[in-house]
Amino acid sequence: MTDIQQLNERIQRESAFVDLLQMEVGKVIVGQKYMVERLIIGLLSNGHVLLEGVPGLAKTLAIKTLSSAIQAKFQRIQFTPDLLPADVIGTMIYNQKTGDFTVRRGPIFANFILADEINRAPAKVQSALLEAMQERQITIGDQTFKLDEPFLVLATQNPIEQEGTYPLPEAQVDRFMLKIKIDYPNREEERLIMRQNVAGTTPSMKAVVSPADILKARAAVQEVYMDEKIERYILDIVFATRTPKDFKLERLAALINYGASPRATINLALASKAFAFIKRRGYVIPEDVRAVCHDVLRHRIAVSYEAEAENVTSEQIVDDILNAVEVP
């Protein structure tokens, strides 16, 4: 218990910057605390984030603001149907004077990559991101380049216009640690947004954290204590998506085509630790797991045609699982 107490005190000290970071981002972003918190979870867990929401909900602005507050290099890539892999990762350029090929690096060489409307580009462009997302490296010609840390892909997709879009390959969707669904701001928040923009006053913000601080915080997040009971709870939740009958959820068996992968188990554990860190705790409690569960699982559960016919979403399936699985 003494170790836990010491760890708790250390995490409280080391997580102090999170409040400062949220406050700085909050100067520009009105409301959307849920989205900002999840972006920080992704950042602390070294996981990529997929944001889904209608246009105008400050998705791009939130990511840009976060990178400014962290003093990190930010690049925005607008995904379009005519985009080529070379436009993302870079290419080999022939130099006529020397007769050699030189590497011209693409916009992927940054700390924060905003892949805007990622589902507008064809699969070959989306797959160009895969090596960067998984291996944290880029291969151009016969040369391989390590990407700078922290490296985070934050992708947005528009759920309403499906004409001319390409669904993300399952392998790529699974590489996103979190999928966040963003809703409209409430009436009071929207009034503040309107006033801020009509007045044309852009709040001045400064960098409050360095990339080195983020890497140090990541190491601290990994040290957050997770009891065996919490580990079993995470495994129960993930296994309930694969074999619902074992958890007396026979009704879900026909609604799920396939359940969450082992990446879900890893990411649920990491995100729970990051959530505990944000809440300035040195240990994980079941509420931490439940808080991030929908974000980790909603894009990893493939619903069947039967579920679609009954208008059952993956979120509702996660709700049923959380209600059925015993909390430690």
Q: Is a pLDDT exceeding 50 seen at residue 2?
A: no
How many CA atoms are closer than 13 Å to the CA of 123, on its beta-carbon side?
Answer: 7
List helix spans (H) across 109-227.
123-135, 170-173, 187-199, 211-223
Taking residues 123-144, what's their average pLDDT? 82
Co-location of 175 and 249 in the same domain: no
Co-location of 104 and 244 in the same domain: no
Any domain includes 244: yes
Any domain includes 1: no
Total domains in the fold of the chain: 2
Which of the listed residues 214, 243, 269 is the one where a domain comes to its end? 214
DSSP E strand stretches across the chain: 48-52, 74-78, 90-95, 100-105, 112-116, 137-140, 143-146, 152-157, 176-181, 256-258, 302-303
Co-location of 269 and 313 in the same domain: yes
Beta-bridge partner residues of 145: 138
Co-location of 235 and 146 in the same domain: no
Conformation bin of residue 301: beta by default, left when phi > 0, alpha when psi is -120 to 50: beta
Which of the listed residues 155, 182, 214 is the one where a domain comes to its end? 214
Q: Is a pLDDT exceeding 90 seen at residue 268?
A: yes
Co-location of 165 and 114 in the same domain: yes
Co-location of 110 and 236 in the same domain: no
Any domain includes 316: yes
Taking residues 232-237, what's their average pLDDT? 94
pLDDT tens by residue, 141-199:
788 888 888 888 888 887 766 665 677 777 778 889 999 988 888 888 888 888 877 87
* Percent of the chain whose pLDDT exceeds 70: 97
Any domain includes 187: yes
Any domain includes 203: no
In this structure, what token pair is assigned to residue 240? 């309930």
pTM: 0.87
CATH of residue 95 = 3.40.50.300
The whole-chain average pLDDT of the chain stands at: 85
Any domain includes 7: no
Highest mean pLDDT among 177-186, 201-210, 290-299: 290-299
**pLDDT confidence tier of residue 1, bands split at 50, 70 and 90:** very low
Co-location of 167 and 245 in the same domain: no
Domain range for 96 is: 19-198+208-214
Higher-confidence position of 86 and 53 = 86
Residue 75, φ and ψ in degrees, nearest 5: -135, 135
Co-location of 129 and 271 in the same domain: no
**pLDDT confidence tier of residue 71, bands split at 50, 70 and 90:** confident
d(CA 270, CA 254): 30
Co-location of 100 and 232 in the same domain: no
Residue entry with tokens 């140090």: 216
What does the pLDDT read at residue 164?
A: 59
CA–chain centroid gap for 201, Å, is 30
d(CA 16, CA 11): 8
CATH of residue 248 = 1.10.8.80
Higher-confidence position of 8 and 267 = 267
Checking DSSP bridges between strand 48-52 and strand 74-78, what pairing results, if any? unpaired
**pLDDT confidence tier of residue 271, bands split at 50, 70 and 90:** very high
Any domain includes 14: no
pLDDT tens by residue, 6-50:
888 888 888 888 888 888 888 887 777 888 889 889 989 988 999
d(CA 259, CA 26): 36
Taking residues 116-137, what's their average pLDDT? 82
Checking DSSP bridges between strand 143-146 and strand 100-105, what pairing results, if any? unpaired
Checking DSSP bridges between strand 176-181 and strand 48-52, what pairing results, if any? parallel
* Percent of the chain whose pLDDT exceeds 90: 17
